[in-house]
Chain A
Amino acid sequence: MRYLGLALALLITPLSAAGFEVEDHARFGPSDAAQVVRVISTGDIPVFSPAIAKFLELNPDVAVDYTVASSTQLMLALNKEGAEFDVAISSAMDLQTKLANDGRTRRHQSAATETLPAWAKWRDNLFAFTQEPAAIVLSRSAFDGLDMPQTRQDLIAILRQHPERFRGRIGTYDLRASGLGYLFATQDARTSETFWRLTEVMGGLDARLYCCSSQMIDDVASGDLAVAYNVLGSYAKAREDLTRFEVVLPADFTTVMLRTALIPSASEQPELAGQFIDHLLEVAWSETPLESYPFTPINQNRGEADASLRRIRMGPGLLVYLDQFKKRSFLNEWESAILQP
Chain B
Amino acid sequence: MTAAINKRGSILRQLIALLLAGAAVLAVILFFVVQGFARQLAEESQDNILNASVTAILDTAAVQQGELTLDLPYSAFSMLGNLSDDRVFYAVYSDRTFLTGYSDLPQIGTPSPERPLFETVTYQGEDIRIINAARRLVSEGRLVTLTASVAQTRNGQIATLNRISQNAAALGLGFFLLTALMAYLAARSAIGPLQRLAASVSRRGPQDLRPVAAPVPAEMVPLVGALNNFMDRLTISLARSEDFIAEAAHRIRTPLATVRTHAENTLHRVERDENRASLREMIRAIDDSSRAAGQLLDHAMVTFRTDHLEEEEIDLSALAQDMVHRLGPLAELRDISMICNTPAPVVIHGDPILLQNALRNLLDNAIKYSPAEGDIEVSVTASETQAILTVRDSGAGFPVGDITELTKRFARGSNVDGIVGSGLGLTIVDEVTRAHNGALSITNNPKGTGGCVTLALPSPS
Contact = CB atoms under 8 A, between A and B. Distances in A.
A103 interface: yes
Nearest to A124: B85
B78 A316 contact: yes
B81 A313 contact: yes
B74 A190 contact: yes
Contacts of B309: none
Contact of A326 (B71, B81, B86, B87): B71
B101 A103 contact: no
Contacts of B80: 316
B85 A325 contact: no
B70 interface: yes
Interface string B72-94: 11111110110001111100100
Interface in B79-136: 80-81, 85-89, 92, 99-102, 124-126
Interface residues of B, number: 25
A140 B102 CA distance: 48
B81 A315 contact: yes
A319 interface: yes
A325 B81 contact: no
A321 B124 CA distance: 23
A94 to B, nearest CB: 11
Contacts of B101: 323
A325 B74 contact: no
Interface string A303-337: 00000000001011111110111100100000000
A196 interface: no
B69 interface: yes
Contacts of A151: none
Interface in A173-215: 190
A329 B76 CA distance: 17
Contacts of A325: 69-72, 92, 99-100
Interface in B53-74: 69-74
A326 B78 contact: no
A275 interface: no
Which of A122, A313, A318, A326 gathers the greatest number of chain B CB atoms within 10 Å?
A326
A324 B98 CA distance: 12
Contacts of B72: 320, 323, 325-326
A320 B87 contact: no
A317 B85 contact: no
Given A325-B69, A325-B99, A103 B76 contact: no
A299 interface: no
Interface in A103-138: 103, 122-123
Contacts of A190: 74
A319 B100 contact: no
Given A325-B71, A326-B72, A101 B88 contact: yes
B76 A320 contact: yes
Contacts of A123: 85-87
Q: DSSP majority for the A interface? A: helix
B242 to A, nearest CB: 93
A320 B70 contact: no
A315 B77 CA distance: 8
Which of A103, A316, A326 gathers the greatest number of chain B CB atoms within 10 Å?
A316
Nearest to B92: A325
A103 B125 CA distance: 10
Contact of B100 (A122, A313, A315, A323): A323
B100 A317 contact: no
B349 to A, nearest CB: 90
A329 B72 CA distance: 10
Contacts of A329: 69, 71
A205 B124 CA distance: 49
Interface of A: 100-103, 122-123, 190, 313, 315-321, 323-326, 329
30 contacts: A101-B87, A101-B88, A102-B87, A102-B124, A103-B124, A123-B85, A123-B87, A190-B74, A313-B78, A313-B81, A315-B78, A315-B81, A315-B85, A316-B80, A316-B86, A316-B88, A317-B74, A317-B77, A318-B77, A319-B77, A320-B73, A320-B78, A321-B74, A325-B69, A325-B70, A325-B71, A325-B92, A326-B71, A326-B72, A329-B71
Given A316-B80, A316-B87, A320-B77, 14 more contacts: A103-B126, A313-B81, A315-B85, A316-B77, A317-B74, A319-B77, A320-B74, A320-B76, A321-B74, A325-B69, A325-B71, A325-B99, A326-B72, A329-B71
Interface of B: 69-78, 80-81, 85-89, 92, 99-102, 124-126
